[in-house]
Amino acid sequence: MNELGQRPIIPVKVAVLRCGIVPQTGTLLAGRVGDTALTKTTHKIIIRWYKDVKCDDWLVIEGQRYNIIYSLDPYNNHERLELFCEVII
């Protein structure tokens, strides 16, 4: 328990997976403080079927964190899983 009486969230490695990364969209968010630019980039990450993937999970690929927006099982045959993710900077 922390000082607010909440249990801390501790990240745990669940699995090590091989994947393919396909960049999907990129958006430049302008109008930030100090004329800085921020990008919002989404990627499609393709993995073998893994039943325990949830939308509140995230992936770490080469030190970069990817939050899962949603997952898709193409053709509904449980061969592969397409994870649509957002890069967290």
pLDDT score recorded for residue 67: 93
pLDDT above 70 as % of the chain = 85
pLDDT-based confidence at 37, cuts 50/70/90? low
pLDDT score recorded for residue 21: 94
45-84: pLDDT as tens digits: 999 998 888 888 999 999 999 999 999 999 999 999 999 9
Which residues make Cβ contacts (< 8 Å) with residue 89, sequence separation at least 6? 38, 39
State the Cα–Cα distance between residues 85 and 46, nearest whole angstrom: 11
State the Cα–Cα distance between residues 36 and 49, nearest whole angstrom: 40
pLDDT score recorded for residue 9: 83
pLDDT above 60 for 3: yes
Enter the DSSP assignment of 6: -
pTM score over 0.85: no
Query: Among all chains, which residue has been given the structure tokens 């922390």?
Result: 2
State the Cα–Cα distance between residues 75 and 79, nearest whole angstrom: 9
